[in-house]
Structures are given as C-alpha cells and as structure tokens.
Amino acid sequence: MSDTILSSRFAIVKGMTNMRHKKEVLSIVKRLVNNYSEYHSKSGNYILPIEKIDEIDLWKFASLIMKLDDDRAMEATGPDNPCYSNKLLPALTKLLSHPIEHDAQRDFIDSWREGVGEYFKPLLEELIEEYLQEYNSDRGLRGEGYYESLSNFI
C-alpha cells in the first residue's frame, strides 16, 4: 500500500500525516481483507466483494475517517453527499417535525448511517483494492488485487 494511505482520488486533507492515524486506517483495511476476502479461481487472486463486508464495519470505517478529517466529515454529512437531498435531509426534517415519534427517530438513525456509509464506500473500496495487491503478492499470487462487485460474478 502506498505511503500516502489514500490514492490521489481520495486524498484526505487533514489528519492522515499522523502515523498513528495511518496505522488505524490500515488496521481496519487489513482486518477486513483478512476476514472477508475470498480466493477467485478465475483471476487467480484473492478478491473482496464489498457486499460481503458487514455494514457495521463500514460504519466503523466511516466513523474513523470522520474523526480524522473534519473536511471529509462535513462533506459526508452535507450537500456534497449524493444521499443528502433524498435521504439525509428528509430524515432530519421528519425528526425535527416529530421529535418524540419513535419511527422518526429510527428512520433518522437508519437513514444517516446508510447515507454516510454509502458516501465512504468508494474510499473503502479503493483502500481495499490497494491492500489486496500486497495481500496477493505476499501469497505468491500475481499481486493484482482488485475489488469486485458480486454483480460481476453473475
């Protein structure tokens, strides 16, 4: 995995220069690859279909990145997130309009977890792809790690 922790496409502005932060992020990525990757005989490599990763792991990853980078946290919870206008904002306004309704509270929590998780999924996929190259290489495989969607196997 590169020294920059994140590819230029997902460069995090703040926080990632701290070595401890880099290790925290790498630790999550390594654990996910170790727990969820599977050998794909067609490619001769280990792959990790993102659909195999438990949502709780995605949310923990999102939480860590948000703690490390204020800019990324603001993007994930604001209009830069594609889910903002159709998921996040409606759930927030519903909760504010009906603050004691349990359904509104539950909808708010679910919508925000899903919306923020979706926002960080491409970043997690990129980091998994980078680490899979090393993971495969360490096992004597071609080292061409890649992320695949389950839909590509159907």
Dump pLDDT digits (tens) for 3-48: 444 444 445 444 454 556 788 899 999 999 999 999 988 888 999 9
- Higher model confidence: residue 100 or residue 19? 100
Sign of CA dihedral 57, 63, 109, 74: negative
Within-domain flag for 96: yes
Which residue type is seen at 97? S
In total, how many domains does the chain have? 1
Do the domain assignments include residue 2? no
Sign of the CA dihedral running 59, 63, 65, 70: positive
- Residue at 3 is within a domain: no
The Cα–Cα gap between 60 and 93 comes to 25
- Read off the tokens for 40: 């794909």
Choose between 17 and 126: higher pLDDT: 126
**Which residue type, as a one-letter code, is found at position 7?**
S
Cα–Cα distances in angstroms (integers) from residue 27 to residues 22, 40, 115, in the given order: 8, 23, 24
Q: Is residue 1 domain-resident?
A: no
pTM of the model: 0.79
Domain range for 92: 8-153
Would 108 be classed as within a structural domain? yes
